[in-house]
Every structure is written in structure tokens, then in C-alpha cells.
Amino acid sequence: MSLYYLALIGALNQSLHTGGRVAISLAAVGLHATPVVIGTIVALYGLLPMLLSVPVGKLNDRIGPRLPMTMGTLFFVIGGLLPSYHPDLLTLYIAATFTGMGNMTFQLSIQNAVGHMGGRDDRTRNFSTLAIGMSAGAIVGPLVAGYAIDYAGYEPAFIFLSLLPFSALIMLASLDLKLQKPDPVAKSATKTRTLDLLSNRGLVAIYLLTGIHVMSWELFSFLMPVHGSEIGLSASVIGLIMGAFSAASFTMRVLLPPLAKRFDHWTLIRGMLMLAGAMFALLPLSNLTAVLVLLSAIIGACLGAAQPLTMTLIHDNSPAGRIGESLGVRTTVVCSFQFAMPLVFGTLGSLFGLTPVFWVTAVLICGGMAAIRTGKN
């Protein structure tokens, strides 16, 4: 049962993360912020996590995941509540920082916990179960944000979203979750260098793949609300489009375990991400809601399949006692892209419009996946 409780806790936190990002982006648009300002706000989701992911990963190896998961959930609650008090640009900056720290700390810790449940053959199924929970939360979050903003306003929307991680915090405090104990190998490996992990060709390939995957996910999350606002869509319609992305991700993760048994993980990941890149190129060519929902769903299915497979590969390739540290390096890559991509592409969007940004993203995804030849040692 611990796996399913963790999936539910992950769903509650993910609702705040995805819904809060939509709400923060739309609140910034409502404050007449430019794409570069919105990009700066979104970049703060990744700034501190980019610097602190490896220490949090090592902490997981030494003390286990429960306390870091609880701290991450508390950061989610704080990040959600702050804009409900006074949603100006400064508050949005601070909220994005807290939410980003919460997401890094919680995600890294829960991935570490789930990876230790069962044997090696169970990992893809376990990560798919966790990812299904995350996808469910990602469906709920944008819908709650969009409809709450349209019918109640920004402050109530942030309060509604904050109730979700608050429920997760209660569950973490009250449930007897069966989590792994601190790894004695990690305690004896305190003098190892994190850079030594980069001599593992499998891990390096996974980190490169992670960068492309996160770039795709982050740019969609950042660009779609702004693009929807520019073409005159309401907050609830934008929430519906973002929800379609998450619903497709959810569906693909349900179907993933049998696919992973039939096909090589790397082949699946490469094919899925290149298809997502092609869909990015088509997104700015239509302003029809039905078409945007369809394209968003295809992108969501492709990106949703890649994440559980990547987590399985991380655990399979990591040295004993250093899985949390390996996840920390991966999370540093994730947060570096979360920090840099909104700044770079927000600036490009302000200078040239969003259509070229979508096309450049498509080229980077497809070209990057073609350049990664192997994930094997």
C-alpha cells in the first residue's frame, strides 16, 4: 500500500505545482507582464534547486526520504499560499522560488523512495504507478486553477490549490509508510566526488536525455498559457488544454509497463521525444481549441512516457549507495533547464514572437535525440 499512498501524495503536490504554474503565469499576464518578465518568474522555479539538488540527494542517501519529502511538501504549501495574500509581481517571484524548492526536494525524495521498492524488475511498473499519480494531479491542477480564476478570482484560486499539498502534509505525518532506511554504503562514501558519476556513460546519456525531456516539458508549460492568452483564449480553456496534456500523459503511463517489456527503453524514449518535437512545430499554426487540445495531448503522451523510463534507467545505472546523489545530479540538470529555458525563450518570444520559439524548440528536441546514440556502457 505504501506505493499507492505515495502516488496519492504525489498527485496532491503535483496539482499545486502544475496548477500553480498556470495560475502564476496568468496572474503575471493579468498584471501586464511581458514574456521576458514571465520567463524570469518561471525561471525562479529552477534557480535554488539547480544549486541544491546534489546536497538534497546526498541527504536522501544518508537519512532516507521521509523528512525531505515532508519539507518539500511544506514548501509547496507556502508557495501556494503567498500569492493568495497579495498577487503582485514580487509575491509571484517569491512563490515561484518556494514552489520550485518544494518540487525539487519532494520529487527527488519520492523518486528515491519508489526506486527502492521491490526488485529491479518492478521498477518500471512502480515508477509508472507513481507517474500515473503525478499525471492525475497534473490534470486536476490546471483545471482547478483555470476555473477558479474565471469564477472566483486569483486569490481564491491559490487558496484552493494550497489545500491539496496541505492534505499531502497531513498524510505524510500520519501514515506509516514503508520507506527504505538510510544506506550504510552512502555513509561510508562521504568522500566520493559527484563528478565521478560522469565517468558512467549510461548516466551521462541519461542526463543528456533528461535535459531534452525537461526542456520540452518546461517550454510547453511556459509557452502554452502565454500563447493561449495571446490568441484570446480564456483561463478555463487554457486550463482545459493543459489538462489534456496531463490526461494524455496519465493514459500513456497506464499503457507503459507492457510497452516497456516489449521494446528497448532507449528506443521508446527516442521515438516519443522526436514525435513530441514534431508536434511543437505544429502548435503555433492553429488557434482552434480542438486542434490545440489534440496537439497538447500528443505532446503530453510522448513526454509522459519518457519520465518513468528515465527514472528506471537512473536506478539501474547508479552505483550502490549513491542513487540519491545520482538523482541529485539529474535534478540539477532538470533545474538548470527550468532556470535557463524560460529566460532564453522568454527573451526570444519578446523579440521575435512565440512562433519561432516553438519551431526552435522542435529543432532542438529532434536534433538532440538524434545526437544521443547510446545509453549503454
312-336 tens-digit pLDDT:
777 777 777 777 788 888 888 877 8
Reported as a pLDDT band with limits 50, 70 and 90, residue 377 is very low
* Average pLDDT over every residue of 225-231: 85
pLDDT of 239: 81
The SS3 assignment for 1 reads coil
Cα distance between residue 191 and residue 189, in whole Å? 5
Which pLDDT tens digit goes with each residue over 264-320?
A: 888 888 888 899 999 999 988 888 889 999 999 999 999 888 878 887 777 777 777
Over range 168-172, report the average pLDDT.
94
Give the whole-number percent of the chain exceeding pLDDT 70.
92
Task: Give dist(CA 268, CA 305) in Å, integer.
Answer: 8
Give the C-alpha separation, 225 to 21, whole Å.
9
Q: Where are the domains of the chain?
A: 2-184+198-371
Sign of CA dihedral 38, 44, 46, 50: positive
| DSSP for 109-142, written as a single string | HHHHHHHTSS-GGGHHHHHHHHHHHHHHHHHHHH
Quote the pLDDT of residue 120. Answer: 66
Please tell me the CATH code under which domain 2-184+198-371 is placed.
1.20.1250.20
Q: Does the pTM exceed 0.85?
A: no
> How many whole angstroms separate alpha carbon 247 and alpha carbon 53?
28
Q: What is the pLDDT of residue 187?
A: 53
* Residue 1 banded pLDDT, cuts 50, 70, 90: low
More confident residue, 188 or 370: 370
**pLDDT, tens digit, for every residue of 47-103?**
888 888 888 888 888 888 889 999 999 999 999 999 988 778 999 999 999 999 999
Cα gap 186→36, rounded to integer Å:
42
91-137 tens-digit pLDDT: 999 999 999 999 999 999 998 888 878 766 677 788 888 888 887 88
Instruction: Record the cell numbers describing residue 262, joined without a space.
Output: 516489449
Kindly report the average pLDDT of the chain as a whole number: 84
Residue 265: what pLDDT? 80
Answer yes or no: are the C-beta atoms of 87 and 158 closer than 8 Å. Answer: yes
Contact 308, 8 (CB under 8 A): no
